[in-house]
Amino acid sequence: MNQPLEYTDFITIRSALLNRQELALLDVREEAPHAEAHPLFAANFPLSRLELNAYAALPRRDVAIVTLDDGEGDAERAARKLSALGYSNVAVFAGGVSAWAAAGGELFRDVNVPSKAFGELVEARRHTPSFSAEEVHAMIEAGADVVIVDARRFDEYRTMSIPTATSVPGAELVLRTPALAPDPRTQIIVNCAGRTRSIIGTQSLINAGLPNPIAALRNGTIGWTLAGFPLDRGAQRRHAASDGRGVDAAPQRARRVADRAGVKRCRTADLAEWQAQEGRTTYFFDVRSGEEYESGHLPGFRHYPGGQLVQETDMAAPVRGARLVLVDDDGVRANMTASWLAQMNWEVFVVDDATLQHVAAVGAWQAPLPEVPTVPGLSAQALAQQLNAADPPTVLDLARHADYASGHIPGAWFAQRSRLREALARLPPAGHWVLTCNDGKLAAFAASELQALVDGRVSILEGGNQAWRNAGLALESGPQRQASPPIDRYRRPYEGTDNPREAMQGYLDWEFGLVDQLARDGTHGFFVI
């Protein structure tokens, strides 16, 4: 029998946020409805992928957790799953986001809102300089002495970029830009897709004291597109390993900024105690590049590039009030990243004495997982044979919709794990159901839920869609069979190359209003040095 659930309310949550108590406020809806309206510090934590995310995102089993939906019942389901995973302090926010608004709570649109709102606050307080798209375009056309650096992830940069721009992800700016603009008279311009990373990147260089004139590209690639200028596609210009110009000064510059922001210091000797500590959540992040991390990193540290960590803090560290520990090997990237996180009201430490002698782990970070259930499985070859039989099984693919659309098992249906009952209502009965996903793990967690809803037997594809690909079996692409609506990802107006102008302008208008929203919310604790 299920234990009775605990419920909580707006006043309790607001009090915890104001007092900097540890709290994980988890919006367990899919990303698209989350992006329509949610509290400022509600981290998107979809019910459909809960087991895959829980242990990494919520490392302390007795941390205060509150699940949130909009009255669909997902918050209750998520609370029970979390309790089953060993979390002992779980409550449901009574009434969902509608009740939050009714109690006077502010609701925010989009994703990564704490970081975006903070970026707007930085610009408002520091009057971060910027140029319009028209001004930057004129500089390029005139052959002016200007260096444009793109502060986004490299994959975003490749999708679309400002002509002549070089990819320098956010945390790398203070370390790498001096080599790109060694003449202090060279104008440096920082861009992203919209506003946040442009503002934070520009202000990072200014805070660090680079001698160059520095400005943001106002409104990023969105502003460039709205001005009618073409973007590059597939650009490959990346920052090189530093040639030493400006690097000698970079650690001192970064440390001064971190000290001004109130960043705390720690040593490798502190880490084991914190990793084992009860009663305090600590996240450990290596903010270098992925290649550097995989070649060697401190045990227990997750890779998260510094610029993205500032941009996606709600995703990386959903426990508000937790301790953050950052490390690099140069004294620049961790300190600059930490300086922003401290201003976002986090308790943040930088490891001061990390050297190669401490490096004991290699390879990509592996998220900790609960024990994966043992479920009857089929090999890729066996499934292929059965699909060609007279009475083939029905295949349900639980992968993200974008992955499904790019390539899936022929005949497979896209379905969302959190909406299996609704998906089944759209499908004919079957004597045999096969669940799959990218690697098979999510399918294994979902199998018992599907079995409770159907009369036929349930199997999983061993190794998931990756095993099917590895076997060299045919795929089909496109969203032709959707048993669930594709709401697992919010369509960002600043990504891709085919967004409507109205959506892009609407996004900018929304960002301009975030400072006022922060003031009305009143729980953030942000400050700007």
Q: How far apart are the first and last CA of the chain?
A: 53
445-489 residue pLDDT tens:
999 999 999 999 999 999 999 999 999 999 999 998 999 999 999
Q: Is the pLDDT of residue 182 over 70?
A: yes
- Identify the burial level of 28 via C-beta atoms within 10 angstroms of its C-beta, where 0-12 means exposed, 13-18 middle and 19 or more buried: buried
Classify domain 6-110 by CATH number.
3.40.250.10
| Mean pLDDT of all residues in 372-388 | 96
Per-residue CA distances from 430 to 170, 389, 516 (Å): 51, 14, 54
How high is the pLDDT of residue 507?
A: 81
Q: Greatest CA separation found in the chain?
A: 74
SS (H, E, C) 316-354: HCCEECCEEEEECCCCCHHHHHHHHHHHCCCEEEEECCC
Q: For the chain, give every domain's residue range.
A: 6-110, 118-235, 256-357, 377-470
User: Which one-letter DSSP state was computed for residue 528?
Assistant: -
274-312 residue pLDDT tens:
999 999 999 999 999 999 999 999 999 999 999 999 999
What does the mean pLDDT of the chain come to?
Answer: 94
Of 8, 50, 40, which is closest to residue 320 (Cα–Cα)? 40
| Mean pLDDT of all residues in 53-63 | 97
DSSP-assigned beta bridge partners for residue 413: 396
| Mean pLDDT of all residues in 70-79 | 96
126-165 residue pLDDT tens:
999 999 999 999 999 999 999 999 999 999 999 999 999 9
Percent of the chain whose predicted confidence (pLDDT) is above 70: 97
How high is the pLDDT of residue 497?
A: 59
CA angle 309, 286, 214 (to 5 degrees): 50
How high is the pLDDT of residue 2?
A: 66
How high is the pLDDT of residue 509?
A: 85
| pTM recorded for the entire structure | 0.94
Q: How confident is the model at residue 521 (pLDDT cuts 50, 70, 90)?
A: very high
CA angle 95, 96, 97 (to 5 degrees): 130
Assigned token pair, 411: 């005949």
322-341 residue pLDDT tens:
999 999 999 999 999 999 99
**Secondary-structure breakdown of the chain: helix, strand, coil percentages, each rounded to the nearest 5:** 40, 15, 45
Q: Is the pLDDT of residue 413 over 80?
A: yes
Q: Is the pLDDT of residue 12 over 90?
A: yes
Which class is 377-470 in CATH?
alpha beta
Asked if the 118-235 domain carries CATH number 3.30.300.30, the reply is no
The dihedral built from the CA positions of residue 105, 106, 112 and 115, taken in this order, carries a sign that is: negative
Domain 118-235 and domain 377-470 have a common topology? yes
Confirm if 504 and 222 have CB atoms less than 8 A apart.
yes
| Mean pLDDT of all residues in 366-373 | 95
User: Which one-letter DSSP state was computed for residue 495?
Assistant: S
- Topology of the domain comprising 256-357: Oxidized Rhodanese; domain 1 (3.40.250)
Q: Which residue has the higher pLDDT, 241 or 30?
A: 30
| Sequence letter at residue 105 | G
Q: Is the pLDDT of residue 273 over 60?
A: yes
